[in-house]
Amino acid sequence: MAIKEAYELAKQDYEKWGIDVEAVLKKLSTIPVSIHCWQGDDIAGFEVNQNELSGGIDVTGNYPGKATNPEELRQDLEKALSLIPGKHRVNLHAIYAETDGEVVERDVIEPKHFENWVNWAKEHGLGLDFNPTLFSHPKADDGLTLSHPDEAIRKFWIDHCIASRKIGAYFGQELGTPAVTNIWIPDGYKDIPSDRLTPRLRLKDSLDQIFAEDIDEAHNLDAIESKLFGIGSEAYVVGSHEFYLGYALKNNKLCLLDTGHFHPTETVSNKISSMLLYSDKLALHVSRPVRWDSDHVVIFDDELKEIALEIVRNDALDRVIIGLDFFDASINRIAAWTIGTRNMIKALLYAMLVPNEQLKQLQEEGHFTDRLALMEEFKTYPFGAVWDYYCEKMGVPVKEEWLKEIKTYEEAVLSKRK
């Protein structure tokens, strides 16, 4: 059956429940996903004095063809974006600065080191987001940065974050869309601490210094990201969820939830509605943990669908900022971007094609049998036909056809890289 014919039949099924499928697709096309650049080069970055990956982060695999310079990384991102429906954003780390061969320490990086990224984003109609890089550096070797007891080291990282906020504001000014500048730190201890409070007092003071200067939120949105544990910080992490949630609420900052940064049985989807009660906006890094914060490629699983449902059913598409964060070097890196991002968009479409208002009413009226029956039946409604039509309409490959383009690109481009 032709894609349009299958779509028209599916549309009839959804319209019986009052779902305007055309309006859904129009809305979906406006929702940006922030695609993380670091999947493309295994979080190596382009610093002249490049350091070994550290901070409890590990990238495994040696699939050939990774990007080794800014031009290759942007080229690979362009390829991935050509296979993903919609207009999106690209998320950068500070280590992706371009300094023309000059050693520039992170505490003195400037907007000029990201001019090429901004010009590229303008050319392709993309927004940019930013992250200071508080890992893979000699001054982070002992696992402490913004909570470090050495004031000189702590000041270095404070200055780095201050510089990063200015770069985020530069992105927002130049591109006409605010950058999310997100702070994540690896700080913690491998074994049981004798004092949990003092490092957190130092972290709080560091954040107060970093955010002392007001920046117009039309240009930059500050976010802070928690973590449960990491390699080398198994017993204690300074920037816990409770710490950052409290700080964000008190200081009007975005609390960023990474789906891999919680206990194995703890779900981010269950937190969204509570946090939206007290925050105007919140941010997500969608990943896929496998037994730990392993940052696997996002798949179309139950938790991803539940995250999308919580955003959609709570009318929060304009309040939840969606970014991705995974890194897999065991498979084609462009395919990883494509799979993960298409699945995030697919989950949003799935959630928008559920009769959420009717299901809410059934719950309020105590009709739990009907609620469960309908929730289950909609799992097999012809959602795939709508997705295929959306991809065709947006000018990207339908179904697995995108994989052929990846293989052609791999043979023509990636295989020739050292």
The catalytic site residues sit at 184, 225, 227, 258, 261, 285, 293, 295, 325
Q: Where are the alpha helices (DSSP H) in 225-294?
A: 241-251, 269-278
Q: How far is CA 327 from the centre of its chain?
A: 11
Q: Are 202 and 147 in contact (CB under 8 A)?
A: yes
CA gyration radius, the chain? 22
The CA distance from 338 to 72, in Å, is 17
Do strands 188-189 and 236-237 pair parallel, antiparallel, or not at all (unpaired)? antiparallel
The CA distance from 361 to 364, in Å, is 5
Candidates 61, 17, 22; CA nearest to 39 is 61
Token pair for residue 141?
Answer: 């070797």
The CA distance from 352 to 406, in Å, is 29
Q: Between vectors from CA 27 to CA 25 and to CA 30, what angle results, nearest 5°?
A: 110
Candidates 345, 347, 346; CA nearest to 306 is 347
